[in-house]
Amino acid sequence: MANTYDFGLVGLGVMGRNFILNVADNGFSAFGNDLDQEKVSALIEEGGDVDKVNATTDAKVFVEALSQPRKIMLLVPAGKIVDAVIENLLPLLDEGDIIIDGGNSFYTDTDRREAYLKDKGINFFGAGVSGGAKGARRGPSIMPGGSREAYQHVKPIFEAVSAKYKGEPCVTYLGPKSAGNYVKMVHNGIEYGLMQLTSEIYDLLKKAGGLSNQELHNTFAEWNKGRLQSFLVEITSEILAQKDDLTDGDLVDMILDKAKQKGTGKWTSQNAMDLGIPVPTIDIAVSMREISALKDERIKADELYDRPSPKAVNKADFVSKAEEALYFAFIMAYAQGMHQLADASKEYGYELDLGEIAKIWRAGCIIRAGLLADITDAFKADKKLPNLLLSNSFVQKVQSTVSSARELVSYGAENGIPLPGLSNSLTYFDAYTSSRLPLNLIQGQRDYFGSHTYERIDREGIFHTEWEKE
């Protein structure tokens, strides 16, 4: 067994087990490690041939089974567990071995770990993996960053196991240090935004359009055949068709309206604020999950305040406008996330190629969508494009759909249906495309109470006014 397996993986939960089986299916022998004997046994049983897939609870046996340089991927929860696994493996490794963190680690933790292991002669890189458990088994989108040289050893395996879009693997080397984990973080932030937007359109069509769950299922299924084709629209149609095993109703109506989160959306929002990049669609998506958690308070507040009854609408026309508004808002969510990646690349020295990022998101990952092919083309055409909204190829897409977004945001406000994601997307667009904003007044206020100074439109320099007269 010594030095015979091509690839090692620590953490044999659902994601880890599926990923390692995917590796074996693609012609690479793989060895797993987990402290839980049941998970080890389950993998060996499912793998069938121990020469292709094997596992152990013993870290020493695990490390000695791998060919050099050892390629060890960690699919364990982010945080202290990653550090604990690294410390457990470290005495058993040789110089030049490679550790890959495949979890959703915060990017600064990846930078710290890379520097720590580099001093010990061990290569380390973070590789975001998107696609959930099914993606891990059938082909995920993989976002690796770190040592370019070390990646070359893993490249054949990752390209084999990743999702394919028209034959092209959905994985590429993204950049140095924590580039991979950072890109995965922003991917998840975009995911938060798209999920929030989809839920709002569902709510609007149900409350105002009067669509049944079956009609909603049909609507989202039809949209998935067009320009809104995406994983999230596809699964939305399937969720809306699911019957409940415990009642005679539909499952979606029985799910409690409290959405949980693991932190990656919040990290995206917080880091965007640190960078000074506006991502309001992502920001509000995080906030809405927090508001949803206040269920008991929301029930009490609902009893205290009147709400308008939604005005009647033409169902077919309303559905058509909803499709246009959702398409518009999807563009805004992607534009904000890509804008953040562009700025972070400069700030952190990642040297990201936004066209390549959009390219590897076209299949396998949660935010995969037909729209990403157009986004790929836009950033390939202009590698220095700071924002998708500045691409000529997107002007008509936005111009032809923004009026529906305006109409639905107005309808929601008048009829008491919250559309914060759609509203924030529209506000972002209107602000970003305004050559003049009222922030001149804010600068005047800041100078008035704090002598913070201001700039002028008619001449260079920094100015201050003595506002208060004696």
Q: If you ran DSSP here, which 8-state letter would residue 401 be given?
A: T
How many other β-carbons are positioned within 10 Å of the β-carbon of residue 370?
A: 15
Provide φ and ψ at 9, rounded to 5°: -140, 130
Please confirm, yes or no, whether 359 is among the known catalytic residues.
no
Alpha-carbon span 15 to 140, nearest angstrom? 11
Structure tokens at 420: 């914060």
How many other β-carbons are positioned within 10 Å of the β-carbon of residue 158?
A: 24
Torsion of CA 149, 179, 231, 165, to 10 degrees: -30
Please confirm, yes or no, whether 38 is among the known catalytic residues.
no
Burial 72-101 (b: 16+ CB within 10 A, else e): bbbbbebeeebeebbeebeeebeeebbbbb
Q: Single out the catalytic residue among 39, 114, 191, 359.
A: 191
Burial class (CB in 10 A: 0-12, 13-18, 19+), 237: middle
Report the SS3 class of residue 139: coil
Strands of the 141-145 sheet, one edge to the other: 53-56, 30-33, 7-10, 71-74, 98-101, 123-130, 141-145
- Residue type, position 307, single letter: R
Per the listing, tokens 């009067």 go with 210
Q: What is the 3-state secondary structure (H, E, C) of 211-275?
A: CCHHHHHHHHHHHCCCCCCEHHHHHHHHHHHCECCCCCCEHHHHCCCCCCCCCHHHHHHHHHHHH
Q: Single out the catalytic residue among 52, 71, 177, 184.
A: 184
Q: What are the catalytic residues?
A: 184, 191
